[in-house]
Amino acid sequence: MSAPRLLPGAAHFVVIEDPAYAPTGEGEHLYVQIEKEGLNTDQVAEALAKACGKRAMDVGYAGRKDRHAVAQQWFSIHFGDEAQLAGLGEHLRGDGRATVLAVSRHRNKLRLGHLAGNRFRLGIADADPALVGAGLDRLVRDGIRHRFGPQRFGVGGATLRLACAWGPGDLGAAVAAIVDPTGLWRFGDPLPAGYRHGPEGRVLGALRRREDDARGALHAAGDQLRKLAASAAQSAVFNAVLDAREAAGLLYRLRAGDVAMLASGAPFVVAPADVDDVTRRAAPGLLAVVPTGPLPGESRLRPTPEIETEERAWSAATGVDWSWFAGATPLASPGERRPLLVTFRAPPTLTMEADGVCRIEMALPAGCYATEVLDQLGIEVPSDRRG
């Protein structure tokens, strides 16, 4: 029998955003719920800005959604006018669609992370429902490895390559990673034709005005691209630490000096006297406490020096230098601790349809990748779902 696989097509990958809070109906920010297909989040944000006569920085959203999906998500537009949304379609580039589902208002701009989680409805072919169901039961008991998916690192890893050039100050290589994610373009080569959305488009626009100014091109990209690059590098460190802890048998065992996290999300450093109790509460089936991994930065809660040294060694093969995130460096970040394991926000369900398609419905916490859950279930994921 063939291995189970995620079916191609947006209809088999439906994601619905669960906001961290509901709009109040009042405020200077227009909140718009969009259903999109065949478009990435930046494309929709750009079209909303143009339709409402606003700058790109006036549009906010809580998270990015796959263009190869049917995705519902909220956007905010500072001083947006609901009547102008009628012209949204005129400003969309490409073959995708964006439909307005709901409109409201709120006092603040939506920002990355203003998100409780996402609900998914996934279509799986060649699935044995008993095996998939057993796999879901295992993840409910043991937790989901909270890995960052390849999407975090850009097309072909280009965003991570950008970070690994920008961090140590190689601005030319950083710009090259933006201009051509395949890595073939070099300064002096003709710039690629065509239109780009978001910060990548601003980099190209700056280069077309002054093609030898790498620093100016990166400045034109704005803070969004810098944060994306820093996040990609931090995510590579986190994944390496997760893999190393799992290999060392430390996913469910805490040590004195580790940074653990309660189910409520509160992190704490494990005291020597509490090791046995914390480890008991971290057991599969309970998961009242979980270990964390680093997203390096200046102000994050730190483990003891011995354990931080161990984490730095575990992540050395990524090529990411933790000093890139400190002080006035381009990738400066406060950092944080991220749980190595997470749980479903609601019990997942599995149904078999008349056409033989197996449907998985699951609710995941913010930052948890559905493609990573499928990997842990042994379900093949098409390459276009991996960035």
- How far apart, in whole angstroms, are the C-alpha atoms of residue 149 and residue 153? 8
Q: What percent of the chain has pLDDT over 70?
A: 99
pLDDT of the residue at 222: 82
- Which one is catalytic: 42, 58, 66, 258? 66
Q: Tell me the percentage of the chain whose pLDDT exceeds 90.
A: 78
Nearest to 231 by CA among 383, 380, 367: 367
The mean pLDDT of 92-111, rounded to a whole number, is 94
Q: What is the mean pLDDT of residues 41-69?
A: 94
Give tens-digit pLDDT for 233-282. 999 999 999 999 999 999 999 999 999 999 999 999 999 999 999 999 99
96-109 mean pLDDT: 97
Closest C-alpha among 304, 317, 232 to residue 272:
304
Q: Give the pLDDT confidence score for residue 272 in this predicted structure.
A: 98
Higher pLDDT, 178 or 142: 142
Domains of the chain plus CATH, in order, are: 21-112 (3.30.2350.20), 116-143+343-386 (3.30.1360), 153-224 (no CATH), 232-341 (3.30.2340.10)
Q: What is the pLDDT of residues 311-327, one digit of tens each?
A: 999 999 999 999 999 98
Mean pLDDT of the chain: 94
Inter-residue contact 65 to 36 (CB < 8 Å): yes
Q: By mean pLDDT, which of 17-26, 126-135, 176-185 is the weakest?
A: 176-185
- Are residues 66 and 11 in contact, defined by beta-carbon separation less than 8 angstroms? no
Asked if pLDDT for residue 387 goes beyond 70, the answer is no
Question: Tell me: the pLDDT tens digits for 148-197?
Answer: 999 999 888 989 999 999 999 999 999 998 898 888 888 888 998 887 87
Query: Residue 186 has what pLDDT?
Result: 85
* Position 382 pLDDT exceeds 90: no
How does pLDDT run across 198-240, given as a tens digit for each residue?
Answer: 788 889 999 999 888 889 989 888 888 999 999 999 999 999 9
Mark whether 66 is an active-site residue. Answer: yes
For residue 38, pLDDT over 90 is answered with: yes
Summarize the confidence of residues 337-365 as an average pLDDT: 96
Average the pLDDT over 345-371 and give the result. 95
pLDDT reported for residue 1: 60
Q: How many CA atoms lie within 13 Å of 43's alpha carbon, on the beta-carbon side?
A: 20
**Per-residue confidence (pLDDT) for residue 198, from 0 to 100:** 79
Average pLDDT over residues 345-355: 94
* pTM recorded for the entire structure: 0.93
